[in-house]
């Protein structure tokens, strides 16, 4: 059979056959020295020119984070702001950009709301027991990913097989504030076929998420999250592989609102991804990916108040064709095409409630060349997007790496980003009353655009000490703000990130420091909810069957903008900085039985990272205070 016919047959392989297949990146997901997100293919960490942080499953088990936002707060340049602990609305601020300006992927599939933009829902509800790996790419990368990748890209990989054979996994954890965590799973396979099936249920009686002490808000806000994930992969032969990954999460989270009696949101977040991968020749690797995601929110309260009733459902269909050509040891060429279809459905009761348009498509093609030589390396990429709403957009990136001696490397790069406006910004219906109508959207919005300049320094200072530092500047124009939304703002963000990995008296440490100055270019005001200085420090030591560790986090003060519901004016309030200390320990009692203990915020710090407005006064959303969690994990070989 000719190669062209074989490639065509793989590209047209029906989705039903994908349920009997496997992933060539299966082993790469376990390794800390590989990166997949930077160039959409597995490669050595040292080969990528992007600023990137990787957490493997082993890292997650060792660090014992409370949730995904807690894990991401360790990344230099990344700040995750929750509105009242686990399960609450989550803001993602990567290098000073806003939530909608960071792209979030789960197994290569875009997730989140196509209405408002951003994937905060995916992050706040994602169960840690369903995660195999997290990669955080910092800085604009629209030349590879298209829209939304202004601040960076966060990619989460769902749980994979623990290896050949049959392996079980069960975990039970209990903590204060009525926390119960339960999960179970089974995985296994052989050299050709691997699978994983996991289920989890988290429940929390909760705490009062707001500082407003009125009769409507003074209650504990509960949270419930049940999740199921499945992966199956198969290698037909040394050249042809394929696979499928499924994640489904659903539950209920309560929140506070001074106009409603115990408001809550029922949520559902689902992702399905499939792929077929063909090693067509020794130099050419081709991969076809198909994806589907949905994000559903249903809001209600105890009295079924009309203020709380809403249904917003987002759907995404995607396809990608990725090709890697290893021309020789020094030259690599990557090329591909993307297709994306966004749809939104609401609980519109009348014609006036419906979006004027509720869907749009985006088509794109990209190409990137990498050169790696003894004296220097280069990267040059270009992407063209054609969007049904705002037309065409071209973005590109370029980088130059220069090794200095055997232990140092300097990387100078330029990258561009853009973000297409959300469907709510563009097509949300006007509000009409007997006295007239008020615009709530703007179909003439342009895409937000960014340009970023960065200098990285990577150094192996000693055998057990590694340093990475990034100095960057990002300029953003056509920023969307106001009501109705307009392209009115410009922003400039200057930043410095430093990450130090070291060993100290047999203990492994990770220090991450960020200095950031995010400002509106015209007014000079600091951008909201972004602290100028942050620090995180993890220190862990293994003592035979026992392990102990701790995490210290600091953040300086920040600014939040509170909208006055009567005058529609914006007030700016300062939020005090904070510092927290977490401690953790574990004991591997037997080969397949482990016990772990986490003490979070041991000094019971009462702090806030976001504000809300009530009748002209600003109140804070509480972050979780002192928590204890004791867990038992059983991992038998079946």
Instruction: Tell me which residue has tokens 């047999």.
Output: 506
pLDDT tier at 610, thresholds 50, 70, 90: confident
- Are the CB atoms for 397 and 379 separated by under 8 Å? yes
Q: What was the pLDDT predicted at 292? A: 96
Helix, coil or strand: residue 329: coil
Q: What DSSP character marks residue 615?
A: T
Using DSSP, state whether 193 is helix, strand or coil.
strand
pLDDT, one tens digit per residue, over 206-241 is 777 777 665 556 677 788 999 999 999 999 999 999
Q: Residue 506 gets which letter from DSSP? A: T
605 and 579 Cβ atoms separated by less than 8 Å: yes
Percentage above 90 pLDDT, the chain: 59
Q: What's residue 212's pLDDT?
A: 67
Distance CA 292, CA 615 (A): 42
Q: Which residues pair with 44 in a beta bridge?
A: 34
Confidence of residue 461 (pLDDT cuts 50, 70, 90): very high
Alpha carbon separation from 326 to 194, 337, 370, 372 (Å, rounded): 27, 18, 10, 12
For residue 286, the cross-strand partners are 278, 323
pLDDT of residue 241: 95
Q: How many domains does the chain have?
A: 1
State residue 466's pLDDT score.
95
Closest by alpha carbon to 79, among 70, 67, 89, 92? 92
- Is pLDDT of 386 > 90? yes
DSSP 4-48: HHHHHHHHT--GGGGGG---TTTTGGG-TTEESTTTTS-EEGGG-
For residues 419 and 150, is the Cβ–Cβ distance under 8 A? yes
Average pLDDT over every residue of 488-495: 88
Res 11: pLDDT: 36
Helix or strand or coil: residue 286?
A: strand
CATH of the domain at 84: 2.40.170.20
Distance CA 25, CA 39 (A): 14
In the numeric block, the tokens 């979006």 are attached to 355
Collect all residues with Cβ–Cβ distance below 8 Å to 12 and sequence separation of at least 6.
none
pLDDT higher than 80, residue 18 = no
What would the pLDDT profile of 550-604 be if each residue is shown by its tens digit?
A: 999 999 999 887 653 333 345 678 889 999 999 999 999 999 999 999 999 999 9
Neighbours of 589 (CB within 10 A): 11
Q: Is residue 238 helix, strand or coil?
A: coil
pLDDT of residue 12: 35
Q: What are 53's strand-pairing partners?
A: 136
**The pLDDT of residue 539 is above 60:** yes
pTM for this entry: 0.91
3-class secondary structure, 426: helix
Q: In what order do the strands lie in the sheet with 152-158?
A: 51-56, 131-138, 152-158, 102-106, 109-110
Which pLDDT value is given to residue 509?
95
Q: Which residue range is the domain that position 532 belongs to?
A: 3-634
- Class of residue 193 by CB neighbours under 10 A (exposed 0-12, middle 13-18, buried 19+): middle
What residues does 310 pair with on adjacent strands? 299
């Amino acid at each position: 059979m000719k190669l062209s016919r074989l490639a065509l047959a793989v590209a047209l392989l029906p989705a039903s056959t994908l349920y009997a297949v496997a992933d060539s990146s299966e082993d790469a997901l376990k390794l800390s020295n590989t990166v997949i997100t930077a160039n959409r293919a597995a490669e050595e960490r040292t080969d990528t020119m992007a600023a990137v942080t990787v957490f493997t499953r082993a890292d997650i088990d060792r660090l014992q984070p409370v949730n995904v936002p807690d894990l991401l707060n360790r990344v230099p340049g990344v700040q995750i702001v929750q509105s009242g602990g686990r399960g609450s609305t989550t803001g993602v601020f990567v290098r000073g950009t806003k939530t909608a300006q960071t792209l979030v992927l789960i197994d290569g599939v875009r997730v989140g709301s196509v209405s408002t933009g951003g994937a905060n829902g995916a992050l706040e509800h994602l169960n840690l027991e369903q995660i195999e790996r997290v990669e955080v790419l910092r800085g604009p990368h629209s030349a590879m990913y298209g829209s939304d990748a202004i601040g960076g890209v966060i990619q989460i990989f769902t749980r994979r097989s623990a290896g050949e054979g049959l392996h079980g996994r069960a975990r039970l954890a209990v903590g204060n504030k009525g926390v119960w965590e339960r999960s179970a799973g089974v995985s296994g396979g052989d050299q050709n076929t691997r699978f994983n099936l996991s289920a989890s249920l988290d429940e929390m009686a909760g705490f009062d998420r707001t500082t407003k002490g009125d009769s409507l808000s003074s209650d504990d806000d509960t949270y419930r999250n049940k999740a199921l994930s499945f992966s199956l992969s198969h290698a037909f032969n040394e050249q042809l592989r394929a696979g499928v990954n499924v994640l489904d999460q659903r539950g209920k989270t309560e929140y506070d609102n001074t106009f409603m009696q115990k408001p809550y949101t029922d949520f559902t977040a689902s992702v399905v991804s499939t792929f077929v991968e063909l090693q067509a020749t020794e130099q050419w690797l081709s991969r076809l990916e198909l994806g589907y995601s949905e994000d559903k929110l249903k809001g209600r309260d105890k009295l079924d108040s009309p203020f709380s009733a809403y249904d917003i459902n987002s759907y995404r269909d995607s396809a990608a064709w990725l090709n890697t050509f290893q021309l020789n040891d020094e030259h690599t060429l990557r090329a591909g095409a993307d297709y994306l279809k966004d749809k939104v459905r609401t609980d519109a009761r009348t014609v006036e409630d419906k979006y004027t348009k509720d869907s749009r498509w985006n088509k794109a093609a990209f190409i990137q060349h990498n050169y790696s030589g003894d004296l220097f390396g280069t990267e040059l990429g270009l992407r063209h997007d054609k969007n049904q709403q705002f037309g065409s957009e071209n973005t590109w990136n370029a980088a130059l790496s220069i090794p200095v001696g055997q232990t140092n490397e300097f990387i100078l790069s330029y990258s561009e980003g853009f973000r297409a406006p959300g469907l709510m910004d563009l097509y949300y219906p006007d509000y009409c009353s007997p006295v007239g109508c008020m615009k709530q959207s703007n179909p003439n919005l342009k895409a937000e655009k960014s340009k970023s300049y960065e200098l990285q320094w990577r150094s192996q200072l000693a055998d057990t000490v590694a340093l990475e530092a990034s100095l960057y500047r990002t300029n953003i124009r056509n920023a969307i703000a106001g009501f109705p939304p307009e392209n009115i703002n410009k922003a400039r963000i200057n930043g410095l990130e430093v990450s130090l990995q070291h060993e100290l008296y047999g203990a492994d440490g990770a220090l991450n420091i960020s200095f950031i100055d995010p400002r509106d270019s015209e007014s000079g005001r600091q951008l909201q909810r972004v602290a100028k200085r942050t620090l995180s420090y993890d220190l862990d030591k293994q003592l035979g069957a026992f392990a102990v560790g701790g995490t210290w986090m600091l953040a300086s003060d920040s600014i939040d903008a509170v909208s006055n519901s009567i005058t529609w004016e914006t007030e700016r309030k300062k939020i005090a900085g904070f510092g927290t200390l977490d401690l953790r320990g574990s004991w591997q009692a037997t080969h397949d039985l482990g016990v772990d203990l986490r003490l979070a915020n041991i000094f019971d710090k009462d702090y806030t990272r976001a504000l809300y407005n009530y009748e002209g006064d600003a109140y804070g959303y509480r972050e979780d205070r002192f928590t204890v969690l004791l867990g038992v994990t059983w991992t038998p070989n079946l």
